[in-house]
Structure 1
Amino acid sequence: MLKIAYDPIYAHPLPEGHRFPMLKYELIPAQLLHEGVITRESLFSPGLLDEAIILKTHNENYWQQLRDLTLSDKEQRRIGFPLSARLVEREIRIAKGTIDGCRFAFDNGVAFNVAGGTHHAGTNWGEGFCMLNDQAIAANYLLANKLAASILIIDLDVHQGNGTAQIFENERRVFTFSMHGANNFPSRKETSDLDIPLADGIEGDEFLRILKETLPRLISQQKPDFIFYLAGVDVLGTDKLGKLALSREACKARDQFVFEQCIANNIPVQVSMGGGYSPQIRDIVEAHCNTFKVASDLYF
């Protein structure tokens, strides 16, 4: 059974101007249930994450300021919205959902978080709507508990996973791979173990050619025993914050190739959904739902 982390807090309303992107967190599970791709038993609600686990990834001073809502106005502007206790709780539950998803992935091959992919959060900063880096926290959890010895993070969001790159810059057991728009946010890039910056306007055929040339080689070289996949749909040509030009079909083919590589190499994978900012919410929801559908077809 496909297992998916979801909690109503994922769709908690933000201040005016930030509510639209949050709608997808309600609509994705609703659409999957409506189409019969999943059942209610597929969804699990994550609890709260112990601070000690957060502190294996994030700086203690940063975490305490985040928890106590004492970040400066400048730091909050970098995140992109004003802090609230509810939003911090949301981030904690998302990170816990990604950790819990890892355990389901070990059993089932794959597991999802409806939210997550908060790859702009670094050791001591939040940025770009990201406050705690869910996949980085989960990767460090696996390492600390000896559940994995070699991890590959595949970040195919349109934006570079700068926070993830910074967190693991000195961690040889985690290989960070980011394939992203060269001229997109963040303006200051960090250095992943492998960065592939893409020119504006790249379409699906070229995107898939590069991915198919790269990912099998990486898996062969790194021999990971666990994979994290950030499946942002802001690579779509309709996305208002992205500068690439993939169709929904190409985005779906991207997901299928990643899952096929995980299956062929018998590597469990946890999937967080990342960004998606097309003006029409149905474009976002359909592209995200395709990721779940492909996994359901391949694994179950």
Structure 2
Amino acid sequence: MLKIAYHSIYKHPLPEGHRFPMEKYELLPQQLLHEGSCTPENFFKPKMPAEAVILAVHTQEYFTDLLNLTLDKRAARKIGFPISKSLIERELRIAQGTIDGSEYALQYGIAMNIAGGTHHAYTGHGEGFCLLNDQAIAARYLQNNGYAKKILIVDLDVHQGNGTAQIFQNDDSVFTFSMHGAGNYPFKKEKSDLDIAIPDGSGDAIYLQKLKETLPKLIDNQKPDFIFYLSGVDILATDKLGRLNCTVAGSKARDRFVLEFCKDLQIPVQVSMGGGYSPEIKTIIDAHANTFRLAQEIFF
């Protein structure tokens, strides 16, 4: 059964006019239920994580500042969200959702998180709407509990996974692969184990060709026993922060390629949603929903 992390706190209230589309986290599960792609049994509500699993990735000082709301103003501005107790709880539950999802993926082959993909969170600070790095936390959880040894993080959000790259920069047991827009945020990139920068305006053909040339060889070389997939839909031509000029069909073809490859090789995969900032919310929902539709089709 496809298991999907979702909690009502994912739709955290933001000040009016804030550009981050929080409503997608409420509308996406509604759409999946409405169309029959999922049933209520597919969804689970993540609890709060143990502090130790957070501190396996993030520093004590940073985590304490988050919990106590004592981040300095500059650090808070870098994150981009107004910091509050409920926002911290949201980030913690997202992280636990990805941890739980990674365990479900070991059982069912795949699991998903309606939110997550918070790849701009570093060990000691957050930025770019990311406070805690959910997939990094879950990767370390799997390793520390003996569930996985070699992990591959496939980050196909339009923005480089700079926080993830920094967290695992000296760790050969986690391979970080980021394929992102060359001219996009973050403008000072970190060094992933493999970075592929796609030129602005490339479109589906170039994007998919580069992915299909890269991922099979990468998996063959690294031989991971677990994959984390960040499936951001900010690669779309309609996306306000995107620039890559891909279509919804192209985004779906990308997801199909990744998920079918994991299924064929029997490598468990956890999927977090990442970014999506198209002006029309229905475009964001449809593109994200495709990932869940494909998971059901391919794995179940």
Matches within 5 A, 1:107-256: 107-256=107-256
User: After superposition, what is the alpha-carbon deviation per residue over 1:156-209, rounded to whole angstroms, capped at 9, x for unaligned?
Assistant: 000000000000001110000000001100111000000001100010011000
Partner of 1:43: 43
Instruction: Give a deviation string over 1:97-155, Cα, whole Å, max 9, x none.
Output: 00000111011111000000000000001000000000000000011111100000000
**Counterparts of 1:265-280 in structure 2 under 5 Å?**
265-280=265-280
User: Structure 1 residue 20: deviation in Å?
Assistant: 5.3
1:16 Cα deviation (Å)? 2.1
In structure 2, C-alpha distance between the alignment counterparts of 1:248 and 1:190, rounded to whole Å: 28
Count of residue correspondences: 300
- CA distance in 2 between partners of 1:43 and 1:185 (Å): 32
**Post-superposition shift, 1:28?**
0.6
User: In 2, Cα distance between the equivalents of 1:166 and 1:219?
Assistant: 21
What is the TM-score with the length of structure 2 in the denominator?
Answer: 0.99
Per-residue displacement from partner, 1:46-96 (whole Å, max 9, x unpaired)?
A: 000111110000011011001110001110100002210000000000000
- 1:25 corresponding residue in structure 2: 25
Q: Which amino acid aligns with 1:75?
A: A
| Counterpart position of 1:287 | 287
Match of 2:15 in 1: 15
- For residues 158 and 20 of structure 1, do their structure 2 counterparts lie closer, same or farther at Cα, with a shift above 3 Å needed? closer
Q: Distance in 1 between matches of 2:131 and 2:18?
A: 15
Residues 168, 20 of structure 1: alpha-carbon distance in 2 compared, 3 angstrom cutoff: closer
CA distance in 1, matches of 2:183, 2:202: 12
1: CA distance, partners of 2:193 / 2:213: 17
Which whole-Å CA distance do the structure 2 matches of 1:122 and 1:9 have between them?
Answer: 23
Matched letter for residue 150 of structure 1: K
Work out the CA distance in 1 between the residues paired with 2:258 and 2:17. Answer: 34
Does the residue aligned with 1:22 lie in a helix, a strand or coil? Answer: coil
- Checking the alignment, whether the CA contact within 8 Å between 1:15 and 1:81 is kept in structure 2 is no
Give the letter aligned to residue 211 of structure 1. L
Q: Deviation string for 1:211-252 (max 9, x for gaps)? A: 000000000000000000000000000000111111000000
2:223 corresponds to which letter in structure 1? K
Partner Cα distance (2:263, 2:3) in 1: 17
What amino acid is the match of 2:96? K
- 8 Å Cα contact 1:13-1:19 kept in structure 2: no
Unmatched runs of 5 consecutive residues or more in structure 1: none
SS of the counterpart of 1:21?
coil
Deviation at 1:263, TM superposition (A): 1.0
Q: Which runs of 4+ in 1 moved over 3 A?
A: none
Task: Report the AA paired with residue 231 of structure 2.
Answer: A
Unpaired runs of at least 5, structure 2 = none
Aligned partner letter, 2:127: E
Measure the CA separation in 1 of the matches of 2:203 and 2:83.
37
- In the aligned structure 2, how far is the partner of 1:21 from the partner of 1:257? 27
Counterpart secondary structure, 1:195: strand
Residue 19 of structure 1 deviates from its aligned partner by 6.6
Mapped contact 1:92–1:132 kept (Cα < 8 A): yes
Query: Following the alignment from structure 2 to structure 1, what is the Cα–Cα distance between the partners of residues 12 and 80?
Result: 15
Amino acid at match of 1:58: H
